[in-house]
């Protein structure tokens, strides 16, 4: 399988996550100092009011927003195991298959192989998760609820994201091969996740081959005549149009 990863984008997003972290930390420290400055130094009343009331009202909301952005960026771009690494390590689909990483945002992973075209929506979350039909649950108690809040690692809407991802890739495929239907797949990349799957409306799989149901087995379980896929010439055209 050929793997094409937008390494330049990955590096830039990692740097942005680091910059946001240090910037938000600086703002929090600076805000703490300004709030307490009137207690530590002799300052005129007007300046003290500005430092203790006005300035924190500006700094602290900005620090809060940048902290949230930093956590989100860290989750997506710095958290291990890296989804593209896990997918590359576990998918063995032959020389005609191609995995594109981070070239078709907001879709992060696009897989083209003999069995079809797939928009892979990954979830890095560990812990326990349950899906029945179209409904997801991640039961947690006590500190687990607070941990989920601070880590910002809620599942969101995996099926909704998978449908949107498939629709987006479909718009890229249609000018080249309108007869090809893109399939959305939800993939859990963290081996620590415990996922109970009951009649899901879309495929839900594990990235690791040793954990069932694995993405590898799901792909190989699809008969090659079930879905149409791109020819090598169409793959080259798709890559020329969408991979800079």
Domain ranges (residues) in the chain: 2-77, 83-242
What pLDDT band is residue 64 in, cutting at 50, 70 and 90?
confident
In terms of C-beta density within 10 A (0-12 exposed, 13-18 middle, 19 or more buried), how is residue 166 classed? buried
* pLDDT score of 62 more than 80: yes
Strand spans (E) along 133-174 = 135-137
**pLDDT given for residue 154 in this prediction:** 82
Cβ density class 207-221: b for 16+ within 10 Å, e for less: bbeebeebbbebbee
The neighbour count for residue 61, using CB atoms within 10 Å, is 12
**pLDDT given for residue 149 in this prediction:** 53
Strand spans (E) along the chain = 2-5, 98-104, 107-113, 116-123, 128-132, 135-137, 182-188, 194-198, 204-206
Mean pLDDT, the chain, integer: 90
Percentage, residues of the chain above pLDDT 90? 70
What pLDDT band is residue 40 in, cutting at 50, 70 and 90?
low
| Residue 199, φ and ψ in degrees, nearest 5 | 40, 60
Q: What is the DSSP string of 31-44?
A: HHHHHHHHHHS---
């Amino acid at each position: 399988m050929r793997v094409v990863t937008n390494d330049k984008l990955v590096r830039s997003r990692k740097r942005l996550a680091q910059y946001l972290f240090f910037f938000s930390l600086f703002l929090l420290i600076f805000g703490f100092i300004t709030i307490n400055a009137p207690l530590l130094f002799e300052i005129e009343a007007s300046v003290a009011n500005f430092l203790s009331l006005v300035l924190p009202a500006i700094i602290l909301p900005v620090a809060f927003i940048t902290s949230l952005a930093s956590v989100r960026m860290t989750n997506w771009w710095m958290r291990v195991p890296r989804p593209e690494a896990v997918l590359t390590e576990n998918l063995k689909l032959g020389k005609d298959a191609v995995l594109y990483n981070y070239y078709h945002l907001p879709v992060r992973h696009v897989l083209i192989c003999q069995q079809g075209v797939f928009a892979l929506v990954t979830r890095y979350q560990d812990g326990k998760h349950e899906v029945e039909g179209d409904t997801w649950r991640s039961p947690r108690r006590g500190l687990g609820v607070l941990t989920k809040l601070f880590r910002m690692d809620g599942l969101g809407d995996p099926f909704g994201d998978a449908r949107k991802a498939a629709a987006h890739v479909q718009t890229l495929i249609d000018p080249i091969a309108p007869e090809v239907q893109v399939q959305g797949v939800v993939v859990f990349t963290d081996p620590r996740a415990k996922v109970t799957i009951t009649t899901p409306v879309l495929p839900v799989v594990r990235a690791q081959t040793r954990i069932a149901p694995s993405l590898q087995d799901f792909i190989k379980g699809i008969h090659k005549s079930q879905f149409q896929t791109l020819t090598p010439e169409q793959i080259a055209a798709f890559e020329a149009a969408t991979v800079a």
